[in-house]
A and B are shown apart, each in its own frame.
Chain A
Amino acid sequence: MNFNHLTSHKMRALAASCAVAAFMVSSTAHAMNTDVTIGMQLEPPNLDPTGGAAAAIDEVVYANVFEGLTRFGPDGSVNPALAASWEISEDGTVYTFKLNDGVKFHDGSDMNADDVKFSLDRARAEDSTNAQKALFAGITSVDVVDPLTVRVTLDKPNGSFLFNMAWGDAVIVAPETADNNASNPVGTGPFTFKNWAKGDAVMLTRNADYWGEAVKLENVTFKFISDPTAAFAAMMAEDIDAFPVFPAPENLAQLGADPRFEVVVGSTEGETILAMNNKKAPLDNIKVRQAITHAIDRQAIIDGAMFGYGTPIGTHFAPHNPDYVDLTAQSAYDPEKAKALLQEAGVSDLTLTLKLPPPSYARRGGEIIAAQLREVGIDTEISNLEWAQWLEQAFRGKDFDLTIVSHTEPFDIGIYARDDYYFQYGDADFKAIMDDLKGETDPAKRSALIAAAQQKIADDAVNGYLFQLARTGVANAKLKGLWENAPTQANDMTGVYWSE
């Protein structure tokens, strides 16, 4: 139909004058507006969301190429995806999913209950490389009832099971193609994988056989630009249509003043923390940790490092979550109190290492924190590390005193229950709270437990809780339908379109 429309224009254009030809050009340009180029700072290491922890993987493929039983909506709600509906047994341990009919993988094969069983069994297997195996921990069996019905049995009720199934790590893959998803992802989503120019871009194209509502875009290109200056230049030159997580907050005011662009400031799941090594002296002393939390002026860090974008937090929880408890007052900026606490702890002449990964929140925030700690008599030795070095030294090697990092996974307070996690907390009381939470399905009781967990890690001053990372996105003013917030790591392109 579109073709006919164009051809008739073409005929007329050929017959008529240059003026009409000029109209032709604009008409073609108009028709071309089904392509979009999205800027991202980090390139994914591979494209298999079930085999890697990198946020960049989900930011390319989540909801675009791969789909799970359930999915996150733009507001963080859990919605049906491949599962059209589900029933939960009385005792909360058996979930029966009814799958959508007529869903096909990009290779043409049908998606049915066998694929769901394969995907879930693969993810929870002993030798699974899934980065979030905990999501599947409670599953005891996955049974195929009929081609469109799957029954999942849990060992005990799990209030967040449907939430877990919406993660990018729980997407449904086909047994024939699962092993190649890292370089050639084959899913059920509205876009198919076209090409990956390493170091430059990943290209997706519309899936003509998509089972659900057809998407408006024809081609989506994810372009990787790590340098903030280059990102700004690419945006100004309109080489990039949208940069959902723009890396240079200092340029946002300028971009916002330009009528061509729209700056969208939303929230993310990124709790930015000053992580402390809880097992390393003198940070194993709660008084020293409390002193550090009182020495930090959160607002100065938000203003200085993020140019005002960000929300102060007092615990490891996202402020936009209804269960969030504002505990910022408990560790309010109070240098005198910090000095007093240090004195009580009997610590003087303290020098701590501060290892900083590349993002500007860490590099800039680190310099400000170093200055603030110096005010209360704590010297820091800053070392700027690349991500690989940071992962090796701080995250895996636990060779650090202080570090700054943003935890961008949704609802990740559970990391405090891990013994071997890099900040080495693993408190028994906290673990008990998390265990209770896992088995609890009553919403009111869940809220109470979540609040208790937030209170506990704030009381113990496990880390310095700085601010919730803002999602500072820049987009062409005519581009509509992008997510404002980031309830999960994703650039969902399914609802994106050009307004003219």
Chain B
Amino acid sequence: MSEQTISQPSTLQLILRSNGFLIGAGLTAIFVLAALVSFIWTPYDATQISISDKLKTPSAAHWLGTDHFGRDMLSMIMVGARVSMAVAFVAVGVGILAGVPLGLYAASKRGGLIDEIIMRGNDLIFAFPSLLLAIMITAVFGPGAVNAIIAIGIFNIPVFARLSRGAALSLWQREYIMAAQVCGKSKALISLEHILPNITNLLIVQGTIQFSLGILAEAGLAYVGLGAQPPLPSWGRMLNDAQTLISIAPHLALVPGLTIVLTVLGLNLMGDGLRDLLDPKLRRVKS
């Protein structure tokens, strides 16, 4: 009886009903597509300097105008998307690959010395403001895209370590885990086979949000000159270059600025939407 009155909508219906997720996914798709297309085609060579074409406002020939060296802004944004996304993607990957095993391992040794060491180590990294830590790392090891990845990756580790430990701790209390333990399964195997699949939802949602933070951090590093080095275009450095020109050519700052805003907004909306979709509790409340 109750089964019939409470309609259980399909995932597709939920997706279509979630405007935020749709807008977010759409925006993200645009920038991912721009980054992918830039590998095979850009309107112009993004590093081609042509002084005579400098500071052109958007037109049919240059959709987003040209910068102070006469480079095509659209091409730069497309190649810059590639750099931003690659840095953020690898950095989040580093965070997941290093943070999740640490968190799961700590959870399996709950209360032990190793748990303490791992989690206090994470607290130590957390104690530094993330961007400050990234600036410190790139200042020591020298600027560049690879060092930016390392810097952003490092402060992603404790995020995922804490998340997975917290989620795993509650799962360790479940009957089926106890059953597995009684059967003599090793803790590592239980973490891998029973706990990890159950926290994947959380990791995906957190990953999306960390990805957007990674893009912001990369732009911040590039803005202060510690990200990808010229001639490789980068959104943050485009903003920095535009700084003194903002009164004569506002599009120089608006284009990369809006790009960063829209990318981060898109990823955040998508992350929120994903959480709603993947969380079974919310799913019932919403319907």
Contact = CB atoms under 8 A, between A and B. Distances in A.
Interface of A: 228-229, 232, 248, 250-251, 253-254, 300, 303-304, 364, 366-368, 370-372, 374, 381-384
Given A367-B230, A367-B231, A368-B51, A251 B248 contact: yes
Q: Which of B142, B230, B246: most chain A CB closer than 10 A?
A: B230
Contacts of A366: 230
A382 B231 contact: yes
A300 B245 contact: no
A370 B51 contact: no
B243 interface: yes
Contact of A250 (B229, B231, B248): B248
B247 A367 contact: no
A304 B248 contact: no
Contacts of A364: 68-69
A248 B246 CA distance: 12
B196 interface: no
B231 A251 contact: no
A498 B243 CA distance: 32
B229 A383 contact: yes
A368 B231 CA distance: 9
A385 B18 CA distance: 48
Nearest to B226: A384
Interface residues of B, number: 21
10 A-B pairs closest in CB distance: A371-B49, A304-B51, A248-B244, A300-B51, A303-B51, A228-B244, A367-B230, A229-B243, A382-B230, A384-B225
Contacts of A229: 243-244, 246
A253 B47 CA distance: 27
A304 B69 contact: yes
A232 B231 contact: no
Interface string B48-86: 110110100000000000001110000000000000000
Contacts of B143: 383-384
A382 B231 CA distance: 8
Given A304-B54, A370-B230, A383-B142, A254 B69 contact: no
A254 B231 CA distance: 28
Contacts of A367: 49, 69, 230-231
Contacts of A228: 243-244
A245 to B, nearest CB: 15
B244 A368 contact: no
Contacts of A303: 51-52, 54
B200 to A, nearest CB: 41
B153 to A, nearest CB: 22
Contacts of A383: 142-143, 229
Contacts of B229: 381-384
A254 B247 contact: yes
Nearest to A354: B230
Interface of B: 47-49, 51-52, 54, 68-70, 142-143, 225, 229-231, 243-248
B244 A250 contact: yes
Nearest to B49: A371
Contacts of B142: 383
B144 to A, nearest CB: 8
B103 to A, nearest CB: 37
Given A368-B51, A371-B47, A254 B248 contact: yes
Q: Which of A228, A248, A367: most chain B CB closer than 10 A?
A: A367
A250 B243 contact: no
A370 B69 CA distance: 12
A250 B230 contact: no
B135 to A, nearest CB: 13
Nearest to B245: A250
A253 B54 contact: no
A251 B243 CA distance: 11
A371 B54 CA distance: 15
Nearest to B69: A304
Nearest to B229: A382
Nearest to B45: A371
Contact of B231 (A300, A304, A371): A371
A403 B160 CA distance: 43
Given A303-B51, A367-B230, A383-B143, A250 B68 contact: yes
A248 B48 CA distance: 23
A131 to B, nearest CB: 29
Q: Which of A254, A304, A372: most chain B CB closer than 10 A?
A: A304
Contacts of A300: 49, 51
Contacts of B243: 228-229
Q: Which of A248, A303, A368, A371: most chain B CB closer than 10 A?
A: A371
Contacts of B48: 371
Contacts of A232: 244, 247
Nearest to A228: B244
Contacts of A250: 68, 244-245, 248
B49 A251 contact: no
A250 B244 CA distance: 7
A251 B47 CA distance: 24
B247 to A, nearest CB: 6
A181 to B, nearest CB: 34
B230 A304 contact: no
A387 B19 CA distance: 51
A304 B244 CA distance: 14
A154 B236 CA distance: 58
Q: Which of A250, A374, A381: most chain B CB closer than 10 A?
A: A250
A248 B248 CA distance: 12
B35 to A, nearest CB: 22
13 contacts: A250-B245, A251-B244, A303-B54, A304-B49, A304-B51, A304-B70, A364-B69, A366-B230, A368-B51, A368-B69, A371-B49, A374-B47, A384-B225
Nearest to A366: B230
Given A251-B248, A303-B52, A382-B229, 19 more contacts: A229-B244, A229-B246, A250-B68, A250-B244, A253-B248, A300-B51, A303-B51, A304-B51, A366-B230, A367-B230, A368-B49, A368-B51, A370-B231, A371-B49, A372-B49, A374-B231, A382-B230, A383-B142, A384-B229
A374 B244 CA distance: 27
Nearest to A360: B244
A228 B51 CA distance: 21
Given A303-B51, A370-B231, A251 B225 contact: no
A489 B48 CA distance: 37
Contacts of A384: 143, 225, 229-230
A250 B246 CA distance: 10
A370 to B, nearest CB: 6
Contact of B68 (A253, A304, A372, A381): A304
B147 to A, nearest CB: 12
A242 to B, nearest CB: 19
A228 B49 CA distance: 23
B104 to A, nearest CB: 40
B210 to A, nearest CB: 28
A463 to B, nearest CB: 22
